[in-house]
Chains A and B, each alone.
Chain A
Amino acid sequence: MEGLTYKQVNDTVINTLEPPRKFYFAIVSFFALLFAAGMSVWFYMIVSGLGVAGIRHPVMWGVFITNFVFWVGIAHSGTLISAILYLFRAEWRMSIYRSAEAMTVFAVATAGMYPLIHLGRVWVVHWTFPIPNEMLLWPNFKSPLIMDVIAISTYLTVSATFFLIGMIPDIAAVREKATGWRKKFYTILSFGWHGTNEQWRHYGRAYLFFAALATPLVISVHSVVSWDFALSIVPGWHSTIFAPYFVAGAIHSGLALVITLLIPLRKIFKVENLITIKNFESMAKVILLTGLIVGYAYAFEYFIAWYSGNPYELAIFKWRASGDYALAFWTMVICNSIVPLLFFFKKIRTSIVGLLVISILINVGMWFERYVIIVTSLAHDFLPAAWGNYAPTWVEIGISLGSWGFFLMLFFLFVKFLPSISIAEVKEILPTPKREGGNNAH
């Protein structure tokens, strides 16, 4: 970013909001159609009953809950980049955090659909919230599932607020260049921001507090999700390492998806000077760390299963690696903990092709991780007489594809309507324009 001026940054980002070409409409329409198709399949499932999905005894949590955990995990890297790295003053986050944060909000929204889908009777979803009702019943706050409802709702509210607040100064900058209906749109959305130093004084402090609140929140959310499993007594789930294991896995998958999305984005928008290879390299280094943590967790689960002397625990872990779901298990191990080791080589972590391929493989692996944890433990419970395997039906596959359509549709709409790179924060890391001294950006 050396040699860039404030105005160049401003213009480069605002140019990404130019009216799109036909190809863009085709892509957004495709994802919208995919989403609509997914919703139609859901409607079919509501009308026909949950029986049309593959979920049946003993595997009552299948792809729907796998997707739920996967999408919540995806969300985590956005908050890591926007809040945690903000507190650490990591400059490489500046040009990528907005897209990552948008990904967080859309991923939590996507994740939030799955408990509704899995409920079956979606029209009674309000029973999960503490709303006074005619039955004088309240949700049981000792249940990790209700804790999850509270955690996810809080996460969606806080991350959406953080996302919108962070965008206000940039929208004000866009407003100044916009015309017609766009001018009105950005004027309303900028909340009348003009960048007075009085506004900046309060804004800076508020932003710091949002970051400070979002940091423990993000760690708590996936911990609570992991307790959905760990607080049961099911072999393979009942483990104290689940919370850190899930949080590391969440960041692992989320960062990989940020890389997958940003590589085409920077090419299409020609913002290679703002989102540089250094940004990707830094993310790859964090992925290397989370990959090692995840790999350690996989190995440690086996150690504990053996060391605890619990035959049920050992049996499930042996079966995971060699039974009906062995393919899913080895996909998970190879994609999540072996392939990311390639990032030890600078040549690979600075190669666009290498980054793209590895990031996609990590996401495949992370989806299978959730699938393996959920399905194998339920399929082989304590009683061999109650065992039974699971495979998703076309209903689950259709709804899953629909949710990808929903997520990508929102992301594509976002990059054309809102600044996908933070203008104000990128300006902040440029040298301050000064008349005296060599710190002159103009």
Chain B
Amino acid sequence: MHTKKIISASYIYVDDFVKVIKHFKSLNRKFVTYSPIPNHEIEEALGAKKSKIGLFTLAGGIIGLISGFSLAGFTAAEWNLILGGKPPVTLIPFVVIGFEFTILFGALATLLGLIINAKLPSYKKLKGYKPEFSVDHFGIIIEAEESELATLKDSLLGMGAKEVTYE
């Protein structure tokens, strides 16, 4: 029976790390990368598309804008408090409420978007993750067959890995 292993390599230099990503991408292998900071070179090497979180923000903002105006309009229509002979439902003062609700709902929707897309919160232990990945090391985790571990390890070390472990 074949058992899958997790191989974890850590790098201290971004240029080395980018080369590793490009290498494994060209081999069409599945891997997960970790980094202590966001980095454009790594993002470009991964070729990831732009996050779609903006759609959540936009949807939240639109819902907020409609809700703000509707709430102010509805409550004004429920109780006709006529001031200065003006109609109870007047749009100009409601712009403030509409604006604040746009921001509030937009921000909460962005938060929701982040929770859904970045899969937070998730407290399960990640295989191959090392504490240094949150400090100063760039990490790559690759799922591998037991038979190819030695070759993979040599190749990762050859590309400048500081440490390679498997579990």
Contact = CB atoms under 8 A, between A and B. Distances in A.
Interface string B36-51: 1111011100101011
A65 B34 CA distance: 49
Given A161-B107, A173-B36, A205 B50 contact: yes
Nearest to A231: B93
B53 A5 contact: no
Nearest to A148: B96
Contact of B96 (A6, A151, A200): A151
Interface string B103-137: 11011101101100111111110100101011110
Contacts of A201: 38, 43, 48, 51
B72 A141 contact: yes
A141 B32 contact: no
Given A201-B51, A434-B13, A195 B133 contact: yes
Contacts of B122: 191-192
Contacts, number: 187
A157 B107 contact: yes
Nearest to A197: B33
Contacts of A49: none
B90 A142 contact: yes
B57 A435 contact: no
A130 interface: yes
Interface residues of A, number: 64
Nearest to B14: A432
Contact of A202 (B51, B83, B124): B51
B66 interface: no
B80 to A, nearest CB: 11
Interface stretch (A206-214, A262-270, A333-341): A206-214
A205 B113 CA distance: 10
Interface in A189-205: 191-205
A415 to B, nearest CB: 21
A7 B135 contact: yes
Contact of A195 (B103, B117, B134): B134
Contacts of A7: 135-136
A198 B48 contact: yes
Given A137-B79, A198-B118, A192 B123 contact: yes
Contacts of B136: 5-7, 10, 433, 442
Contact of B100 (A139, A140, A154): A154
B34 A138 contact: no
Nearest to B112: A206
Interface in B30-77: 32-39, 41-43, 46, 48, 50-51, 53-54, 57, 71-72, 75-76
Contacts of A194: 34, 126, 129, 133-134
Nearest to A193: B120
A197 B103 contact: no
B167 interface: no
Q: Looking at chain A's contact residues, is the secondary structure mostly helix, strand, loop, or mixed?
A: helix
B92 to A, nearest CB: 9
A137 B78 CA distance: 8
Interface in A360-380: none
A209 B53 contact: yes
B152 interface: no
B94 interface: yes
Contact of A204 (B32, B38, B76): B38
Contact of A147 (B16, B97, B117): B97
B14 A154 contact: no
B15 interface: yes
A137 to B, nearest CB: 6
A216 B96 CA distance: 12
A272 interface: no
Contacts of B33: 196-197
B78 to A, nearest CB: 6
Interface string A6-17: 110010000000
A50 interface: no
The 4 A-B residue pairs whose C-beta atoms are closest, nearest first, are A138-B75, A6-B136, A176-B131, A191-B121
Interface of A: 5-7, 10, 130, 136-142, 147, 150-151, 154, 157-158, 161-162, 165, 168-169, 172-173, 175-177, 187-188, 191-206, 209-210, 213-214, 216-217, 220, 224, 424, 427-428, 432-437, 442
11 contacts: A6-B136, A10-B135, A150-B96, A176-B134, A194-B129, A195-B134, A197-B33, A199-B119, A209-B54, A433-B13, A435-B160
Given A136-B79, A199-B118, A442-B12, 16 more contacts: A5-B136, A141-B71, A154-B104, A191-B120, A197-B42, A197-B43, A201-B38, A203-B118, A205-B54, A206-B51, A213-B57, A217-B103, A220-B96, A220-B99, A427-B37, A433-B136
